Structures are given as structure tokens and as C-alpha cells.
Amino acid sequence: MADQGSAVPVASETTLVREVFGPLGGLVECGASLESVSVGEFVARHRGELDRVLDVVRRLGAFHAESMDIMDGLGYLREHDVPPVTLLMWSGCIEEYTPDLGAPVTVRRMARMGADLQMSHLLQALVGVASLRGGRDDVESRAREIAEVIGAVCTWGGPSRGRSLHEVFLTWRVAFLPGLLMPSSGSPEPFTRRLREYAHALERIVEQGE
């Protein structure tokens, strides 16, 4: 929803932080499945990257401690089972729901697809938070932080996952930007300008890393 007196669309702090924590939780569950470990073991293995992601999220959105505590309440970082139907959800139903949903090859396919899909959603959520709640003078530094944490999360799931910051950026740019930037989208001009600034900054970062 947009506030006509504001430069960018208005969204509640809770809504914004949940838009980040959803795909982050999906990446934890898909990553644990790809590494064939429990969620608890996966979180322990990747505690450093998780803490870095959460720190960047907090600073990008200037979120209050109560908002950051939502992640703990969602339970994604605590030990729990990840049934095949959960991977089906994260993967956008790439598989048909059948009794064979738990077959190893099917689980791996859903986990791979789920990780790819949720990675692009995480990038969109981070850019959205930065665009909505960040200043205009620090786009480059914020884009570098976003690129850094996305690059770190790309390692989740082991080397066989084979994803890179470049691939995530290209997927995000194609999947999300047209719907937000086309004149027919109805997005306010200051907001689309900010999104373009982040898209251009991320493009420069990706090209420098090649």
C-alpha cells in the first residue's frame, strides 16, 4: 500500500521483516536437506553466515529487537523435521503430490529448486528493505552488504548446488524487476528509481567479481 505523501510505498516493519525471514527459513530447510543433516546441525555449521545475514537485515531495515525476535518465534533455526511436503511448498510445487514424494531423487530435486527459488526471494526481500527504509546516499555500501550475504548463502547445500551470486542476481532481475518497474505496475516513481539504483549497483558488483 502506498502513502501519497511518502517517497516510497509504506509497509509495516513486521511485514518487511517477515518477507526476509520466510525465504531465509526456506533456505535453511532446503540446505539441511541438500546436506543430508538435521536442521540443528545445519544451523550449527552455518552459524557465522546466519548471524551475518541477520545483522545485515537488522541494519538495512533499522529494525527493532522485537522485530528481529520474530525469526526465533518462527522456529526455522531450531531443531525440527523437514517433511517432503514442506520442500514441495518451498520449491513451488515442481513435483506432483504423490505417495512417492519422499523418494531421495525427488527430495533432492525439490530441495535444489526450493533453494534456487527462495534465494531469489531473499534477494528481493533484502533489496526491498533497503529501498524502503534506507537512505539514498549509501546505496553502494548497502548493495555490497546484500551481495556479500547472498554470496555466503550460495554456499549452503554443499558444492554440488553450484549456484553463484551472478546466477542469483540474473534470476532476481528477470523474475522481479519487470513487475515492479513497468509503468503499468503502479509503483511510485521514487520507489522505482531506488530499485533501479540497487539493480545497477548490484550489476556493477557482479561484473567486478567475474
Q: Mind listing the pLDDT tens digit of every residue in the chain (210 residues)?
A: 333 333 345 578 999 999 999 999 999 999 999 999 999 999 999 999 999 999 999 999 999 999 999 999 999 999 999 999 999 999 999 999 999 999 999 999 999 999 999 999 999 999 999 998 876 678 999 999 999 999 999 989 876 666 899 999 999 999 999 999 999 998 888 888 999 999 999 999 999 976
Which amino acid is residue 13, in one-letter code?
E
Give the closest residue to 49 by CA, choosing from 149, 123, 142, 130: 149
Give the C-alpha separation, 6 to 8, whole Å: 6
What is this structure's pTM? 0.92
Q: Are 25 and 74 in contact (CB under 8 A)?
A: yes
**Three cell numbers, residue 65:** 529487537
Helix (H) or strand (E) holding 4: none
Residue 153 burial by CB count (10 A; 0-12/13-18/19+): exposed, middle or buried?
buried
| C-alpha span between 204 and 210 (Å, rounded) | 10
